[in-house]
Structure 1
Amino acid sequence: MASSSTTKLSLKLLIDTNAEKVLFAEASKDFIDFLFNLLRLPIGTVIRLLTKNGMVGCLGKLYESIENLNDTYLLNPTQHKEALLKPTAPMNSMSYAVTYVGEKAEEEVKKCSGEGGFVKEVVTYMVMDDLVVQPMSTISSITLLNKFHVKEVGSLQEKVVEVGMEEGIKLLKASLLYKNVLTTVFLKNV
């Protein structure tokens, strides 16, 4: 198995070039499992991944205050500070979700879900720009073109992107800040 720093997941985007927007992405089981595991990350882990300064609101400041708090004020300095700043999650979600693009903790996943991950392998999934996930179908795709008022099919472009650790963190951050996550990460490069 490849290391987590080199393995990437592929995602096929359908882009409306006129609107400069991702309509939806075609995704495999691995990418959907990655997205679903983002929900399992403890808030302390999310803050650490996004960095204190990249956070919106005050949670970054709260995290920083714990980092700077002198150990003499804590009941059990090594245990409590570590638990707050580097929390653990069930099934080691941190390593599973964020480094899911690398080696999977397959045994841990199987314990949690019974077969490895959360969704079935034989299905291709559709991920909307706002991260709504549903099984992919031809009829659903055509219906969405109508919903998005696509008049010129020639304005649609297919683009395959690779999702590694850096893109995974960008997806996490964008999902906390924006409603058009895929467009923000893959077209606007925020």
Structure 2
Amino acid sequence: MAESKVSLKLLIDTKSKTVLFAEAGKDFVDFIFHILAMPLATAIRLLGKQGMVGCLSNLYDSLENLNDSYIQKGHNKDILLKPNAANLMTSVPLLLLNDKPTANNFYRCVHDCSNGYVTDEPTAICPSCRHLMNKNITYVAPPHVNQKSNEDGGFVKGVITYMVMDDLKVKPVSTISSITLLSEFNIKEIGALQEKEIKVGMNEALKLLKASLHSNKVLTTVFLNDI
């Protein structure tokens, strides 16, 4: 499947080498808003341990390397290491996550008792006939419910263009707000401004995620500098 990409239009001050703001559609805005809902473990796994600040990567490593014998029965480490990101996967095009948590196994009595007992521990004893409950059964997930609106899904509406600032502040685009911003940035030479349209894919999305944890000049960091 081809990589999903979204368009972004940057307004760059070539003198200060800074991205003043970007004009973005709903796909990009949906992505940056969904950063707020991303589990920490997912961010660590996406960025790599070297991309994290502080000691969170050590915490992740500790659980990843912990022997399964120390984990409570009925649980597995992926519950925390790979929290379910299904909502992000279905609603945000830039987050093509494919590492869902490992599903638990379920078992019933080897004699197929009609009492309907189920367990996630194959050494359990059937309360009815006292035999082992180690016959594997397959869990069937309910049909996927399409939660997209009548418009085009995601979180924000797609009928307008959004202004995304260098520090990821977001607001709807308007002519007045654009003029006001140029005044706030003390832009005196309009000729120094450059408009640049770019495509943002998974690679750029990861850089944006990383930069948002380190800097308040995210767009400049990602699109004008190396991180």
TM range (shorter): 0.7 to 0.9
Q: Rate the CA distance shift 1:182–1:37 in 2: closer, same or farther, 3 A.
A: same
**For 1:93-172, what aligned pairs fall within 5 Å after superposition?**
93-94=88-89, 96-97=91-92, 99-100=94-95, 108-110=146-148, 116-172=153-209
| Larger radius of gyration between Structure 1 and Structure 2 | 2
- Structure 2 Cα separation of the partners of residues 176 and 109 of structure 1: 30
Describe the superposition over 1:35-83 as per-residue Cα deviations: whole angstroms up to 9, x where unpaired: 1111111111011111112211000010011111111111137x33011
Give yes or no for contact 1:101–1:163 (8 Å, CA) kept in 2. no
Is 1:44 aligned to 2:29, yes or no? no
The one-letter code matched in structure 1 to 2:148 is: K
Q: How many residues align?
A: 181
Is 1:53 aligned to 2:50, yes or no? yes
Give yes or no for contact 1:33–1:118 (8 Å, CA) kept in 2. yes
TM-score (norm 2): 0.73
Q: SS at 1:110's partner residue?
A: coil
Q: CA RMSD in A?
A: 2.4
The one-letter code matched in structure 2 to 1:151 is: K
Q: Rate the CA distance shift 1:186–1:101 in 2: closer, same or farther, 3 A.
A: farther
Partner in structure 1 of residue 134 of structure 2: none
The one-letter code matched in structure 1 to 2:28 is: F
The worse-fitting range, judged by mean Cα deviation, of 144-153 and 113-122 is: 113-122
The one-letter code matched in structure 2 to 1:86 is: K
Q: Rate the CA distance shift 1:29–1:98 in 2: closer, same or farther, 3 A.
A: closer
For structure 1, the 5+ residue unaligned runs are: none
Give yes or no for contact 2:22–2:163 (8 Å, CA) kept in 1. yes
For structure 2, the 5+ residue unaligned runs are: 98-143
Q: SS at 2:77's partner residue?
A: helix
Q: SS at 1:33's partner residue?
A: helix
Structure with higher RCO (Cα < 8 A, 6+ apart) = 1
Which one has a larger percent helix, Structure 1 or Structure 2?
A: 1
Runs of 4+ in 1 over 6 A off after TM superposition: none
Is 1:84 aligned to 2:121, yes or no? no
- Structure 1 Cα separation of the partners of residues 164 and 87 of structure 2: 25
Q: Rate the CA distance shift 1:184–1:86 in 2: closer, same or farther, 3 A.
A: same
